Amino acid sequence: MQEVKTTCCYCGVGCGVLAQTDGINIISVRGDPEHPANLGRLCSKGSNLHLTSSASVTQQVRLLTPELRRSRGQTRSASSWADTYQFLAEKFAQTIAEHGPDSVGFYISGQLLTEDYYVFNKLAKGLIGTNNIDTNSRLCMSSAVAGYKQTLGADAPPCSYEDIELASVVLIIGANPAYAHPVLYRRLEAARAANPEMKVIVVDPRATDSAREADLFLPILPGTDVAFLNGMLHICLWEELLDTAFIAEHTEGFAELKHTLREFSPEKVAKICGIQEADLLQAARWFGNAPAALSLYCQGLNQSSSGTAKNAALINLHLATRQIGKPGAGPFSLTGQPNAMGGREVGGMANLLSGHRDLANATH
C-alpha cells in the first residue's frame, strides 16, 4: 500500500490529504497532519474523496483515455492521446489562421496547480498571442482583488490561517464558513475553546449555521453592508477607538473618509440595516477595543454590483483601527477554490502578467 500527498479541491481551504492507493485504486484517505491549512482535519467531503473514484459507489470512473467528437453531428468516442493532441492543435491553428489569435480563449480553474496555471498563461499570451484567458477568480474573487488593490495597493490578503488562533475578535461577514469552509470553522471552534474570551460576530441576512454559534448576530438587510461597515467606523471614530498615529503614518485620504462617515450615525445605520442600534454599538466596540480583530468574508461581499465598495469599507475599518499588520488581525478574504490566489500570482487572468503585473500599467 502506497500513501500519496494530495490536496482536496472542494473549497477554498485547500486541505492536505494523504491518499492510500494500491497503485490502481484509491483505497482510503486521511487528513495530512503536517499540512498548515487543515492540520490533519477533513470535512465530510474531504474524508470521502476516495468514493469519487469508486465505481461500486458512484457508477462513475475517471476517464483513462480522451473522448473526442470530431464534428457536431457525431457522438464522442474514445481516442488516443496522440490523435487528440493532433486534432486540438490543428483546430486551434486553423481557427487562428482564419480569424486571428483573439478568436480562441481559455477558461481555467482555481483547482489547478500554480505551475499548470503558469503554463496555460504562457500558452495563451506567449505562444498564441491572446489575452483571452480567465479563471474562476473573475467570477468568484474579482471584488476582493479590486478591494485589496484599491486600499492596500496589492492583491494579497495580509493574513493567514494561523491568525485565527491569535485573534480576540472575529468578524464574519458575507460568509458561512461553518458550511462553506468547514475545516476552517473547526479551527475557529478550537480557538474559541482555547480562548473563552474570544468574541465572534456574524453579519449576514440569513440565520446561518455560523450565525447560530456567534456571540453577536446582526441580520442586516441585503445590500446594506457598506452602510453597516461605515456605521461601525463612525462609532469607532466618535468613541476614539482609532489609531491616529497609524492613520497619519500609513494611510492616505482619511480626511475625505471622515467627512463621508458623518452621514452614518448609529441611529441612521440601524434603520438602514434593519438591526438594533445597541447591537451595532456592541459590534463596533468589540472590534475597536480588541487587541486583535480578524475579519473573514466571502461571496456575500464579493458577488455584488457594489462588491468592491463593500471590500473597501471593511478594509478601511481595519486600517483606521489598526486591526492590520499584527498577529491575529486583518481583513481575510476566503476563496471559493483552493488556488485562486496562486493563479493570479502567475498571471492567469486576461488583465495580468505573472508576478502581479498589470497589463494596463506601462511600467509593468
pLDDT value of residue 138: 84
What's the pLDDT at 33? Answer: 97
Q: What is the pTM of this model?
A: 0.92
pLDDT of residue 64: 72
Place of cell 486534432: 87
* Fold of the domain built from segment(s) 142-334: Dimethylsulfoxide Reductase; domain 2 (3.40.228)
Q: What is the pLDDT of residue 360?
A: 87
C-alpha cell at 143: 471584488
Q: What is the CATH number of domain 2-54?
A: 3.30.200.210
Other Cβ atoms within 10 Å of 267 Cβ, number = 10
pLDDT of residue 70: 86
Quick one: pLDDT at residue 279?
99
For residue 218, give the nearest of 233, 201, 230, 235 by alpha carbon.
201
Identify the helix (H) or strand (E) that includes residue 90: helix 81-99
- Sign of the CA dihedral with 295 first, then 296, 302, and 304 last: negative
Task: Give the whole-angstrom CA distance, residue 128 versus residue 312.
Answer: 36
Q: Are 279 and 218 in contact (CB under 8 A)?
A: yes
User: CA-to-CA distance for 222 and 207, rounded, in angstroms?
Assistant: 13
CA distance 245 to 249: 6
Sites in the chain below the pLDDT cut of 70? 55-63
From-to residues of CATH 3.30.200.210 in the chain:
2-54
**Is the alpha carbon torsion for 331, 266, 204, 255 positive or negative?**
negative
Chain length of the chain = 364
Task: Output the nine-digit C-alpha cell for 92.
Answer: 486551434
Quick one: cell of 262? 458623518
Query: Do 175 and 298 form a contact (C-beta atoms < 8 A)?
Result: yes
By three-state DSSP, how is residue 193 classified? helix
CB 340 within 8 A of CB 140: yes
Evaluate whether 291 touches 324 at the Cβ level (below 8 Å).
no
C-alpha cell read off for 46 = 474531504
DSSP 8-state secondary structure symbol assigned to residue 23: S
Map residue 91 onto helix, strand or coil.
Answer: helix
End-to-end CA distance of the chain: 49
Q: Mapping DSSP to helix (H, G, I), strand (E, B) and coil, where does residue 354 land?
A: coil
